[in-house]
Every structure is written in structure tokens, then in C-alpha cells.
Amino acid sequence: MVASETRPIIQIDQVSKYFGDFQALKDVSLEVALGERVVICGPSGSGKSTLIRCINQLEKHESGTIVVDDVELDDSKQSLNSIRAKVGMVFQQFNLFPHLTVIENLTLGPIRARKMSKTEAGEIAMRYLERVKIPEQASKYPRQLSGGQQQRVAIARSLCMEPSIMLFDEPTSALDPEMINEVLETMAELATSGMTMICVTHEMGFARRVADKMVFMDHGEIVEMARPDRFFEAPESERCREFLEKILQH
Amino acid sequence: MKKAAIWLALILVLPGCSGSWGWYVVNPYTSTGLTNLRFLADGLYYTILLSFSAIAISVVVGLLIALPGLSANRKLRGINRTYVEVVRAVPILVLILWVYYGLPQMANISISVFWAGVVALALSDSAFEAEIFRAGIQSINRGQYEAARSVSLSYPDTMRFVILPQAIRRILPALGNQLVYMLKMSSLVSVIGMQELTRRANELVVTEYRPLEVYTVLVLEYLALILVVSAAVRWVERRMRTDERF
Ligand SMILES: Nc1ncnc2c1ncn2[C@@H]1O[C@H](COP(=O)(O)OP(=O)(O)OP(=O)(O)O)[C@@H](O)[C@H]1O
Ligand SMILES: [Mg+2]
């Protein structure tokens, strides 16, 4: 890769985040290029969620800077609105709106925030439902779907806002094993379309296949960052090696 | 339930046999009885109008008071606490008297009996509505806000399309309770001369000297009204439950 070709779309520089006295992120720096796929892993409580939640400002960082697509994130409404427009997020618990049908879940954002007409939003929503392969579920309610289907609806809901960056926070860890693959397939398909993606996941098969860059976090720090081949074959730090051994055992 | 019905029948019938009751005052087969009954039943109009106007206002005010109570900002939460504590501390009857006799003097306005009643009832109820809404909204998972934010919904839209529809389904039984409570509390507005059910009964007692019979009719009027309203509330609840599917 040549540096001049890969414009960083996300620049995280020396970011720290506290919850009370507890420091959840310690001077974390990370650059993500346009179209790059980053997979973040690390033990529970290491700050993975906190880091990606800072990127769409679900958490506010206390120091350091985060620049997304040339907009620096501060407390201003403009930066907040601009960031939310560009960044989609998929949650571990899906967080679908339970009182709305699948199609209503998908069109709410476009209609209210993008001021799209109902028909236009509906057409776009159907297109993304087809892409995640569940167009026939459009008029059902979330709880009538399986976990895997719900998560694919959640992915489609984010895509309807046509973000340039997608964040995934352990999208498969609340799923039964037999449903994990359908979600990973959807994500892999998305990766081939050139979407910039940051995924927190422990699905190492997926990571190997899709990631351009692997990040290992521990105790609020980025301990290791490397291309997947290097990362899996020859991790530099002891902590990362131990973690990988544990996780690759099963 | 059955036992109670039998007792009620006995209480009504037995004294009538002994001649100490004067059911003639409300006997629908005599013209005075019918006129009296009509006079009593006409109070229904204001009882209902008063209660429903008051509850409509207090739900809106209650929601507006609940919102600052959910804020991360301490000052805003303080506003909510103060309102709830102060309003909740004043007895409804006292509030009715104050709004009708005190407020016009203080604010230099004139206020009709009806509106004084509506304002006092709504004010008093709004503190409870605020607490109900706050609890209902707080019961909604944080993930719903985060998902709404990540599809760029503004705060008002998040409330209107995501949080409140879910919260209202959860608090519907509590809102129904408040409505029933309101129907009963509206009887207190009789003290400032509102021609609702209770006031009419009082006036009839003064002219007919038959408190037992007239107040018994009054009890039955409230009973019938509230049974009908409760059934309606339960119907709405059932309907909402079947179309929410979660
Ligand atoms: N809202 C919060 N208040 C207080 N502490 C928090 C909060 N959110 C996270 N933390 C703490 O910050 C640390 C990092 O949390 P984070 O959720 O980022 O970890 P994680 O790497 O995503 O872990 P997991 O794999 O379990 O999801 C944890 O120790 C957690 O207890
Ligand atoms: Mg996490």
C-alpha cells in the first residue's frame, strides 16, 4: 500500500477516556484508511467497545483528538450530526426498535433525519433487505425473527443511512452458534463492497479472511497492531500471544 | 363479589319494606322522581368533561415535567423534583379552593368554576403523571437511544418515535388508574359550585331531605361510570398488547 493513495478517514490521536477514576482508554492512537477493514480484539474490559463508541461519540473522550473525514469531534452539534451521518453502528444486542416492523425500523432514520419520502425510503430499505437476504421479513416485527435475522436487519438499518464507515461491536456474540455464519457472511459481503469497517470480534476466521489490519487491546491500550498474516503467525507481545492461544483453542 | 351484591340488594330492599326509606324521590315512574333522576344524571356531563379535560392537560404537563427529570443536568432534574414535591404536597381540595378563590386575586384574572376545577385537578394530577412517565421512560433500554442516535434521529424524534411509544405501552395501566382516580377526585370540585354529580346530589338532598336515597344513587352513578371507564381502559390495553408483539 502506498501512503498517498490511502487517505486516513479516521485519525485517532492520543485519546484517553475515563469513567470516574477508572481510565478505560490510555493514549490510544489509530489510523484507519478509506476502505480499510480493521478488526479489534482483546480480553473483556480492555476498552474495545469504548474505543469504537468514541468514534461515533456514544462516549465522549476526555483528551486527545478524533478526526473523522476531516471533521474533528468536539462537543458541537455540527460535529455530532456530521459524525452520526457518516458512521453506522451495529450493536451486540441488535437494538432493533421492537414496536416497529422490520421495514419501519429501516425507514425511520431516512424519513425523519434524511427527510426522504416514505416511498423512496421504502425502496432503499427493500434493496438493503435483499442484500442481507431477508426481503420476505419486511412486515414482521423483530421478535418474530431469529437472532441472526435480527442482526442482519440491524445491519441493513445502518446501511439505509448510507454511511461511509461501519462500526461493529461484537455483532455475533449474542447469537446461537448456528446463526453466527449468516451474519459474518453479510459482513464479509459488505467488506468486498469497499466499505470502511471497524469490527470488534473474536471470530478469528472472519478476521483472517477480511481484515486489512488487526488490533489487539489490553487494559485500555493498543498493545499490538499488524497485518493479519503477521498478527496470527508472529505476534510480538507476550500478552497478545497468550490471548490468541486461548481464543484459537476452540 | 356475589356476596357483596346480595348484601347491597338487602341493604337497599329491606329498609324500603319497613317504610323508613323514601325511594319515591328517585322513582322513575313518578314525574317528580323522574325529574330528580334526570337532575342527578345530568351531572354526569360535567363530571366527565371536567375529568377528561383535566387528564388530557395533566398528561401533557406531566410529560413535559418528566423530561427534565431524565436529564443528566442537575439543575434540570432539580426543576422536576421541586415541581413534583411541591405539587404533590398540596391536597387536591386545598388546590381547588386556592385556584378558584386565590389565583384570580393574585393574577388579577377571572376564572370560571369549570376552568378553576380543570386547572386544579390537572395541576394536582400532573405531578403523579410526571412520576409515571419518568419511571416508564427510564425503563426503556439505553440501547434504544443509542440505536436511534446512530441512525441520526434528533432527540425529539427519538422520544416521539422510539422511546415514548414503548414507554406508553408499559405505563398504560398506571395511566388508566390515574383516569379512574381523576373521575373520583372531580367530586371535590362540587365545593366551588361545579354542577357535576356530587354537587347535584347535595342540592337535591337540601330540597328533598332524602340523603340516604340520593347519595345511594350517587354511589351507583360513580360505580357505573368507573366500571365503564375501566373496561374501556382494559380494552385499549389489550389492543395495544396484541399489536405490539414484543
Ligand atoms: N459506562 C461505564 N461506566 C463505568 N465504567 C465503564 C462504563 N463502560 C465501560 N466501563 C469500563 O471500562 C472498561 C472497558 O470497557 P469496554 O466495554 O470498552 O470493554 P470491552 O473491551 O468492550 O469488553 P467486552 O469484551 O466485555 O465487551 C471496563 O473495565 C468497563 O468496566
Ligand atoms: Mg464490549
> Which residue segments constitute the domains of chain A, with CATH numbers given?
2-95+165-248 (3.40.50.300)
Using CA atoms, how far apart are residues A177 and A190, in angstroms rounded to an integer? 21
Question: pLDDT under 50 in chain A at which residues?
Answer: 1-4
A171: contact with B, CB 8 A cutoff: no
Q: Could you please report the per-residue DSSP string of A144-199?
A: GS-HHHHHHHHHHHHHTT--SEEEEESTTTTS-HHHHHHHHHHHHHHHHTT-EEEE
Enumerate residues lining ligand 1, CB below 6 A. A 19, 22, 24, 42, 44-50
Q: Indicate the angle between helix axes B43-69 and B164-185, nearest 10 degrees.
A: 140
Using CA atoms, how far apart are residues A97 and B148, in angstroms rounded to an integer? 9
Contact assignment for A98 to B166 by CB distance below 8 Å: yes
Q: Could you give the C-alpha distances from A60 to A21, A65, A80, A116, in angstroms and in order?
A: 15, 11, 11, 30
> Scanning the structure block, which residue is given the C-alpha cell 340516604?
B212
Using CA atoms, how far apart are residues A243 and B145, in angstroms rounded to an integer? 33
A141: which chain B residues are within 8 Å (Cβ-Cβ)? 244-246
Q: Looking at chain B, which residue has its C-alpha nearest residue A93?
A: B143
Contact A160, A120 (CB under 8 A): no
A143: contact with B, CB 8 A cutoff: yes
Would you state the cell numbers that stand for residue A154, as one nine-digit string? 440491524
Eight-state DSSP code of residue A66: E
Residue A162 — φ and ψ, nearest 5°?
Answer: 45, 60
Using CA atoms, how far apart are residues B188 and B182, in angstroms rounded to an integer? 10
Would you state the cell numbers that stand for residue A49, as one nine-digit string? 467497545
pTM over 0.90, yes/no: no
> Which residue segments constitute the domains of chain B, with CATH numbers given?
25-240 (1.10.3720.10)
Kindly report, residue by residue over B19-75, the tens digit of the pLDDT. 567 888 888 888 888 999 999 999 999 999 999 999 999 999 999 999 999 999 999
Using CA atoms, how far apart are residues A222 and A200, in angstroms rounded to an integer? 13
User: How many residues are there in chain B?
Assistant: 246
User: Chains A, B: CB contacts under 8 A, how many?
Assistant: 71
Kindly report, residue by residue over B170-195, the tens digit of the pLDDT. 999 999 999 999 999 999 999 999 99
- For a mutational test of ligand 1's pocket, the pick from A39, A40, A49, i.e. the residue with the most ligand atoms closer than 8 A to its C-beta, is A49
Q: Could you give the C-alpha distances from B199 to B21, B46, B173, in angstroms and in order?
A: 22, 10, 30
Residue A11 — φ and ψ, nearest 5°?
Answer: -125, 115
In this prediction the ipTM stands at 0.93
B152: which chain A residues are within 8 Å (Cβ-Cβ)? 81, 84-85, 109, 113-114, 161
State residue B233's pLDDT score.
92
Kindly report, residue by residue over A220-247, the tens digit of the pLDDT. 999 999 999 999 998 899 999 999 999 8
Residue A22 — φ and ψ, nearest 5°?
Answer: -85, 125
Tell me what percent of the residues of chain B surpass a pLDDT of 70: 92
Kindly tell me the burial class for residue B105, based on how many C-beta atoms sit within 10 Å of its own C-beta (0-12, 13-18, 19 or more). Answer: exposed
The Å distance, Cα A218 to ligand 2 centre, comes to: 12
What band does B13 get if pLDDT is binned at 50, 70 and 90? low
Q: Looking at chain B, which residue has its C-alpha nearest residue A87?
A: B150
- Count of C-beta atoms within a 10 Å radius of residue A2: 5
State residue B178's pLDDT score.
96
Using CA atoms, how far apart are residues A35 and B12, in angstroms rounded to an integer? 84
Q: Indicate the angle between helix axes B31-41 and B211-244, nearest 10 degrees.
A: 40
- What are the residue ranges of helices labelled H in chain B? 2-18, 31-41, 43-69, 74-89, 92-97, 103-107, 113-138, 142-150, 155-157, 164-185, 197-208, 211-244
Q: Looking at chain B, which residue has its C-alpha nearest residue A114?
A: B152
State residue A1's pLDDT score.
45
Q: Ligand 1: which residue has its CA nearest to atom 22?
A: A49
Residue of B141, B152, B161 to mutate, testing the A interface (most A Cβ within 10 Å of its Cβ): B152
Q: B224: helix, coil or strand?
A: helix
Task: Please tell me the number of the ligand nearest to residue A28's CA.
Answer: 1
What band does B239 get if pLDDT is binned at 50, 70 and 90? confident
- Chain centroid to CA B164: how far? 22
Contact assignment for B161 to A112 by CB distance below 8 Å: yes
Rg (CA), chain B: 22
What band does B221 get if pLDDT is binned at 50, 70 and 90? very high
* A63-68: strand order across its sheet: A22-33, A8-19, A63-68, A71-72
Per the prediction, chain B carries an average pLDDT of 90
Please give the single-letter amino acid code of residue A147: G
Buried b (16+ CB within 10 A) or exposed e, A134-158: bbebbebbbeebebbbbbbbbbbbb
